[in-house]
Structure 1
Amino acid sequence: MDRRSRLRRLAGVGTRFLIVGGISTLIEVGAFNLFVYAFGWDLVVAKVAASLVALVNAYIGNREWTFRHRDRRGRVAEIVLFLVTNLVCTGLGAGIVWLGAEIMLGLTGRQPGPAVVNVINLASIAIIVLVRFVLYHYIVFRTAPAVVAVAEPDPVEPGR
């Protein structure tokens, strides 16, 4: 496959990934705000829970649309890799939210308000999107390695 075809295919996969991610982001942000401002949950707990809610949409969208052309290994193995990847990304996202809130507290001397918290949350999502795409592309929904055909020698017929 030439370079232009590969870039075009990667752009298509990237676009589908961003659409699925955009929908998942809306779900995550909505759930995050519901958990924090309606239920009074801690920021980090709300971030983790909201990420898990959005995870269901992300798996279905990415498996069935974004990476549908990729080989399917066993469903269980794929789901385990998906969950581990997202566990790492959720932890990283929660750490970014915590760090951002702590930095704002240190700079202003007070807890950040809803607008600042949402900016921090969206920044964490933007960073994690890049990490997720790389991990999904190369680990979770990877293509099977190319199999090189080996020509077998012609069998020698007895008596010749």
Structure 2
Amino acid sequence: MDRRSRLRRLAGVGTRFLIVGGISTLIEVGAFNLFVYVFGWDLVFGKIGASLVALINAYFGNREWAFRDRNRRGRAAEIVLFLVVNLVCTLLGAGIVWLGAEVVEGITGHAPGPALVNVVNLGSIAVIVVVRFLLYHYVVFRHTPKDDVDDASA
């Protein structure tokens, strides 16, 4: 497969990944605000809970649509890798939210309000999107050498 075809294919996968991620982000932001501002959860626990809710949409959207053409190594192994990647990303996102809230509090002298917390949360999501795509692409839903041979003969 030539370079242009690979870039076009990567752009297609990336676009589908971003659509699934956009829907998951809406779910995560809604759940985060519900957990923190309606149920009174701590910011970090709210972030973790919201990430877990969005994770269900993310798995099925990515497996069945964004990375649908990838070799399936076995559902159990794939789910374990998906969960490990998302545990790492969730903890990284929660750490970014915590650090961002601490920085805002250090600068302003008081706890950040909902608007600033959501800005920090969206910033954490932006960082995690890049990390998550790379890990999904190269680890969870990766192409195997057999996939490349099949692609060349198709």
TMscore range, shorter length: over 0.9
State whether structure 2 residue 65 is matched by structure 1 residue 65: yes
Equivalence map 1:35-114=2 (5 Å): 35-114=35-114
Distance 1:144 1:134 in 2: 16
Greater Cα radius of gyration, structure 1 or 2: 1
Amino acid at match of 1:92: L
Distance 2:66 2:104 in 1: 37
Amino acid at match of 1:13: V
Distance 2:78 2:33 in 1: 30
Equivalence map 1:124-143=2 (5 Å): 124-143=124-143
Deviation string 1:131-155 (CA, Å, 9 cap, x unpaired) is 00000000000111249x9xxxxxx
Q: Which residue of 1 aligns with 2:15?
A: 15
Deviation string 1:80-137 (CA, Å, 9 cap, x unpaired) is 0000000000000000000000000100010000000000000000000000000000
After superposing on structure 2, the runs of 4+ consecutive aligned residues of structure 1 that deviate more than 3 Å are none
Amino acid at match of 1:131: V
Distance 1:66 1:39 in 2: 33
Q: Which residue of 2 aligns with 1:2?
A: 2
CA shift, 1:74, in A, is 1.0
RMSD: 1.4
Deviation string 1:22-54 (CA, Å, 9 cap, x unpaired) is 000000000000000000000000000000000
Amino acid at match of 2:22: G
Q: Which residue of 2 aligns with 1:153?
A: none
Q: Which runs of 5+ in 1 are unaligned?
A: 150-160
Amino acid at match of 2:2: D
Q: Which runs of 5+ in 2 are unaligned?
A: 150-154
Could you say which structure has the higher helix fraction? 2
Q: Which residue of 1 aligns with 2:116?
A: 116
